[in-house]
Structure formats: C-alpha cells, structure tokens
Chains A and B, each alone.
Chain A
C-alpha cells in the first residue's frame, strides 16, 4: 500500500511538472505583449525595458523557462540580495557559490497586471470560499441524491421513480449558468421577501459596526445551484446500482430468512450499492466542480473561479496562469486521493498497477 501511494505521488508530481511546462509554453509562444499590458499603451522606452528586464523577457526562452520553474519550486536557488528577499519572502537554507543560496519559500507566481499584488496571495485568500462552497454543494448533492436514488429504486417503475428520474435528466441537461441565473432571480429577487435570501453575498461580510461577520445563509443558493448536477448524477447511479443489487441472490436469501424490509435495505442493499457510487463521486469530484466557475461568477462569490474569469476578461495573464496551475494541482491531488480510496476498498487495483 505504501509503495502504491508513494508511486502515485511521484507520478502526480511529474504530471504537475508537465502542466507547468504546458502552461508556460502556451502563454509564451502565442502572440501577446505582456509589457504593453502592464505599462499601458503610452509608456516610454526605459519603463518598458525595465519591465521586460524584471519579467526576464529579454532572455532566450530556455532561460525564461528555467527562471519560471525556479520561481515555482518551493525549494529553489536565488541570489542572496535584499531585492530578492522582498520579492520572494524566503528563508535561507544553504549557501551556494557566487552569493547564491538555497531557500525555502511559497511558490512565486508573479504579480497581477491589474492590481500588482502577488498571485499566490490572491489565490490563497480566495481558496477557502471555493472550498466551503464545493463542500456544501457536495454534501447537499450526496445526501439528497442518495436518498432520492433509494426512493426511486424502492418504487421502481412507478410514478415516484419516473418523476425522480425525469427530474434528474432535466438536472443534467440544464447548463449551470442558466440555472444559476434562474435560481438567483427567482429565490434571491422575486421571492426575496419570503425566502429572506439575497442575490449576491459572501460567507464573511464586513459590517461597519460589528466587523467581520459570518453570513451562513449566503451559501445556500450557490451551493444548491452547484449541487444540482452532481445530485442528478448521483441519484441516477444510486438508483441503478440499487436495482442491480435487488435482483441478487443474497437479497432473496435475506428475505427468505424473514428479515424486515428496512433491515434488508439498510444492511444488505445499501452497503453493496453505495460502493460504486462513492468511488464514482470521488473520481468525478474534480470534473463536477468545473461548474463552480460560473456559479461563483453569477453569485459574485469571491472564489478561485470568480477571480479566474475576471482575470480572463481583463487579460490578466499571471492570474490566469497561476490559477490554472493551482487548479491542475488541486485536480491531481483529488485524483490521487480517489485512487488511494479506490485501492483501499479494492485490493485488486493495487496489484494491477
């Protein structure tokens, strides 16, 4: 097991390295002039030269690539100067020749063109909102989806089953941003006096008198909107695997032993039916969360997705690059954990890889 985990991690690091390479070359080979984006259209030559020197644009592309990777590594090699100390905020580890030191630091993802703040800081500030939103949505989707799937499988081929399955088909087909607009408009605007919800809002809001306050009700609408599609998929999966399990022989045995129906469903069916569902959820978690981008954008929920889309609209390349790498790392980690869970549940996977 330990060997399996360590191999998965090494493999994950290689994949992240590949993504970094891909992102770097995408943003450097394709046309576009970062100096103009930072300095604006009207700028003198010396300013432009200074900016291009700071970004390392005057060097050949191989050196720029090494520079970029060196910036991203948590343990890296830098000149020991005061400028670099301020820029990277590092802790010295080991001296190396030519006044260079091995340092430990946060990955440095350049600065935003728009606000001139460090991208790493922007991302770290906004990651918690996205995590809370994703967790709330997933919790909602799993609980409601599994219970709907069980209900549908119990009333197989009758009206409740058909209603629930029809609703899940609708839930899969509707694009997340249309659904988000409709939810925001209906529950946050037209029915606002009854539901007491607002169109937009953050988890933490700063009140002029009382300071930073937790507004839990603001997460309800985005989480439900984001959860609709996973919910539909999860309930379909649960229903199908429950129906499969119902026709197995051990259920007949349990029934002929005289066990109560509730006991059969909870102890015998659910345990077997939920196994594929849970592995599917953990495997798809990453792709299900792609919808979070638009939901965040529409509800003005200041998470990673909101920032990325704003950056794409404003041509703020460092933020887009940073968040791409960040998201890729997150997806790789999630996939590794899903694999580990899968290998833990099913030992055959370990042997095959």
Chain B
C-alpha cells in the first residue's frame, strides 16, 4: 500500500504532511480505544462545576474548560476519535454498498440477468406479501398474519401449480439496471446532508444508526461513479477474453474490472470522507446528532454559542475540523492529479 502510494505521487511534502497528520490521528484514536478497553475504566468527560470556563493554558486544563467545566482537550480527543471512526465506517460501508450495486447494475445491464418465469412470479408474490407484512408490523396481530399470508401463499401456490403444469422454460430478462438507476435518481435528488438531517429527525442517531444514515446518504455517489467506470471498461476485449476462458461473472467484475476503477473510487472516497466529517460536526452542532455522552467538535461549538466570551470553544474545534478536511481534501486532490 505504501509502495503504491509512493508510486502514485505522494512525493509532495505538503501532501506527506497531511497524510502523516491523518495517520497520527487514526493511530491515536486506535490507541485511545484499546486503552479504554484494557483499563476497564470509563473515560467519559466529567462535569466539574468548580472549574467553569477556565481559559487555555490554566493548571490541569491545557485547553481550558467549557461552560460545564468539562476539559476541552479531553473532549477534543474523544470527539476526534468518534467523528473519525464513525465517518470512516460510514464512508467505507457506503462505498461498499454503492460499488456492489453499481457493479451489478452496470454489468448485468437490462438484459443479461435472466431467471425462469416461474421463479419470477413466485418471487414477486412473496415480495409483495413481505412488503405488506413489513408495513403492518407496527399493528401486528396474529390475525393480520393470517389475513396477509394466506392469500399470498394461495397465490404463490396457484402460480407454482400453473408453471409446474406448463413446465415452461421461458426466461424473463430482468431490467435490473433500469430499476436501480431510476430508484437512485429519485434518491439523489435530495442532497446527502439533507438525507441525514431528515433521518435523524425521525430517529435520533446512536453511533450505529449514524453509520447507517451515512451509508444511506453516501451510496448513490459511489453507485453512479462505479457504474460509469464499469460501463467504460465493460466492452474491452480482455473482458471478452476472460469470458471466453470460462470465468464467471463475479470474478470478472472483481478481478478484471474493479482494479481499473479503484483510483477514481479512492478519490471519491477521500472527498466523501471529508464531507461526512463536516456533516457529523454540523449535526452535533445543531443538537440532532449523537447523544450527549459522545463528545464531538460540533458540540463544543454549540456550547460556544451559549457564552461567546469563551473563544477557545470555537477556535480549537473549528481549527481541528478545518485542518482535517483540508488534509483529506489535499490527499484526494493529489490522487486525482495522477
């Protein structure tokens, strides 16, 4: 990996510094997490009403305290850990979902994925039945189950019988690409930050939920990019050659097509990561982000709003967000240049 990065032009000193900064941050976060686990004590930031609003460089509190007497340096440490980890996981899982859908949708296209007609109909009925079940799960009663399952089971068995009788070998092409692209187009009308705000207005995020929201917001971009890149390389002769040898679909996609789009995906990954960092801090600034026991950059800035005399509550977290975003975007830009 390091060799690869070197080849790809991380010779720039500024870029190296950025990379170093992010790496140190990630190492520190991992160190904090393991230490946290090993020591067994809770490292939560304590409220200390005796030391409210200490300015930076005072005794025991290097960067001062906030309006509840919590140490700013500690909050910054934990906040950085939380934000980096959650945004990174969100981007990683989002890219995973997006790339998977993008590759399948681009590779299979509108006519390549064929299944038997019987399977198609039975599957369709089952999906409709399950959808009804899912939407009525809040008011679930046993009678509802009977009401819904019996007709769908009846329909499924009737269709099964029909197709067994006919024994048709007709295959129906599923326009997978068409469906997925239409759905994603609807989805990507709303910008990512707004999707996350919307979801967290319905259910306030816990860390795991926040990662899910990030995935929900970020996958369309990865989907479109990977699909476009795949369509570019799909008709190359070496893909045909691989197919002639007798390779299956999935190995073709992941062994022959994926390496070609890896670099542009990495660029998008860097920018999406930077954007998620900002989104996380924005959400916690607005008070609709992670619950109060998880410190964050945005929460410090929000507590600055309560008392604007405590300038260090704006300066340090603001600077930290700024530097992080700057570094990640610098790395992304460097990757794009090559």
Contacting residues, chain A, for B135 (C-beta < 8 A): 25, 28-29, 61
Chain B CB within 10 Å, residue with most, of A25, A185, A312, A331: A312
CB distance from B299 to the nearest CB of A (A): 13
Contact A327–B201 (Cβ < 8 Å): no
A144 to chain B, nearest CB (A): 22
B330: chain A residues at CB < 8 Å are: 169
Contact status of A175 and B194, CB under 8 A, knowing A32-B202, A61-B135, A182-B314: no
9 A–B contacts, CB within 8 A, in A order: A26-B199, A29-B135, A32-B203, A169-B326, A170-B322, A189-B308, A287-B191, A320-B198, A335-B189
Partner of B189, one of A19, A175, A185, A308: A19
A1-53 with Cβ < 8 A to chain B:
15, 18-19, 22-23, 25-32
Query: B274 to nearest A CB, angstroms?
Result: 8
Is A15 a contact of B190 with CB atoms below 8 Å? no
**CB atoms of B186 and A18 under 8 A apart:** yes
Contact indicator B187/A22 (Cβ below 8 Å): yes
Contacts of A309 in B (CB 8 A): 197, 286
In the complex, what distance in Å separates the CA atom of A182 from the CA atom of B318?
10
Q: Which residues does chain A contribute within 8 Å of B182, judged by CB atoms?
A: 18
Given contacts A178-B322, A182-B314, A327-B190, contact A294 B202 (CB under 8 A): no
How far does the Cβ of B120 sit from chain A's closest Cβ, in whole Å?
Answer: 23
Q: How many residues belonging to A are interface residues under a CB distance threshold of 8 Å?
A: 47
- Contact, CB under 8 Å: B186 / A174: no
A312-B197 in contact (CB<8A): yes
In chain B, positions 125-175 with a C-beta closer than 8 Å to chain A are 134-136, 138
- Known A-B contacts: A173-B274, A327-B190. Give 19 more (CB < 8 A): A18-B182, A18-B183, A18-B186, A19-B189, A19-B190, A26-B199, A26-B202, A30-B202, A60-B136, A61-B136, A182-B314, A185-B314, A290-B193, A308-B197, A311-B201, A312-B286, A313-B288, A331-B191, A332-B189
Given A175-B321, A178-B321, A309-B286: A331 and B281 interface contact (C-beta under 8 Å):
no
The proximity string for B residues 269-295 relative to A, scoring 1 for CB distances below 8 Å and 0 otherwise, is: 000001000100110011110000000
CB distance from B11 to the nearest CB of A (A): 19
| B198/A324 in contact, CB under 8 A | yes
Complex-state Cα separation, A18 to B314, whole angstroms: 41
B80 adjacent to chain A (CB < 8 Å): no
A203 within 8 A of B: no
Q: Is the CB of B134 within 8 A of A29?
A: yes
Given A172-B329, A173-B326, A185-B308: A294 in contact with B201 (beta carbons within 8 A): no
A172 to B326, CA, bound (A): 8
Quick one: which of B136, B203, B301 contacts A178, CB cutoff 8 A?
B301
B31-75 to A contact mask, C-beta < 8 Å, 1/0: 000000000000000000000000000000000000000000000
CB neighbors of B among A293-337 (8 A): 293-294, 297, 308-309, 311-313, 315, 317, 320, 324, 327-328, 331-332, 335
Interface centre among B135, B198, B305 (most CB of A within 10 A): B198
Q: What separation, in Å, do the CA atoms of A189 and B309 have in the docked complex?
A: 12
Q: How far is it, in angstroms, between the C-alpha of A177 and the C-alpha of B325 when the chains are bound?
A: 14
Asked if A324 contacts B190 (CB within 8 A), the reply is yes
Give the contacting residue for A175; candidates B305, B308, B325; CB below 8 A: B325
Q: How far is the CA of A15 from the CA of B134 in the complex (A)?
A: 24
Does A181 sit at the interface, judged by CB under 8 A?
A: yes
Residues of A within 8 A of B111 (CB): none
A-B contact number at CB 8 A:
106
- Can you list, as one digit per residue, whether each of A196-232 has a CB less than 8 Å from chain B (1) or not (0)? 0000000000000000000000000000000000000
B203 in contact with A30 (CB, 8 Å): yes
Cβ of A286 within 8 Å of any chain B Cβ, yes or no, is: yes
B288: contacting residue among A189, A312, A331, A332, CB under 8 A: A312
**A312 to B138 Cα, complex, angstroms:** 23
Q: How far is the CA of A170 from the CA of B330 in the complex (A)?
A: 11
Q: What sequence of 0s and 1s flags, for each residue 3-18 of chain B, a beta carbon within 8 Å of any chain A beta carbon?
A: 0000000000000000
The reply to whether the CB of B185 lies closer than 8 angstroms to some CB of chain A is yes
A27 cross-chain contacts in B, Cβ below 8 A: 202
Question: B198 and A26: CB pair below 8 A?
Answer: yes
Least distance between A177 CB and chain B CB atoms (Å)? 6
Verify A173–B322 contact, CB threshold 8 A. Answer: yes
CB closest chain-A residue, reference B278: A175
Report yes or no: B282 in contact with A313, Cβ–Cβ below 8 A.
no
Given the known interface contacts A26-B198, A320-B201, the answer about A331 and B190 at a Cβ–Cβ threshold of 8 Å is yes
Which residues of chain B are within 8 angstroms of A328 by Cβ–Cβ distance? 189-190
With A61-B136, A324-B198 already in contact, the answer to whether A31 and B203 are too (CB < 8 A) is yes
Contact string against B for A residues 62-80, beta-carbon threshold 8 Å, 1 for contact and 0 otherwise = 0000000000000000000
**What residues of B have a CB within 8 angstroms of the CB of A169 in the complex?**
326, 329-330
- A324 neighbours in B (Cβ, 8 Å): 190, 194, 198
Taking CB atoms and an 8 Å cut-off, the chain B residues in 310-338 that contact chain A are 314, 318, 321-322, 325-326, 329-330
Docked Cα-Cα span, A26 to B308, in Å, equals 38
B residues in contact with A15, CB < 8 Å: 185-186, 189
Interface string of B222-265 (1 = CB under 8 A from A): 00000000000000000000000000000000000000000000
Q: Mark B183-227, 1 if CB is under 8 A from A, else 0.
A: 101110111011001111111000000000000000000000000
- Does A315 contact B322, Cβ atoms closer than 8 Å? no
Residues of chain A contacted by B286 (CB below 8 angstroms): 294, 297, 309, 312-313
Contacts of A175 in B (CB 8 A): 278, 281-282, 321-322, 325
Q: Chain B residue with minimal CB distance to A332?
A: B189
Chain A residue with the shortest CB-CB distance to B199 = A26
Q: A residues within 8 A CB of B308?
A: 185, 189
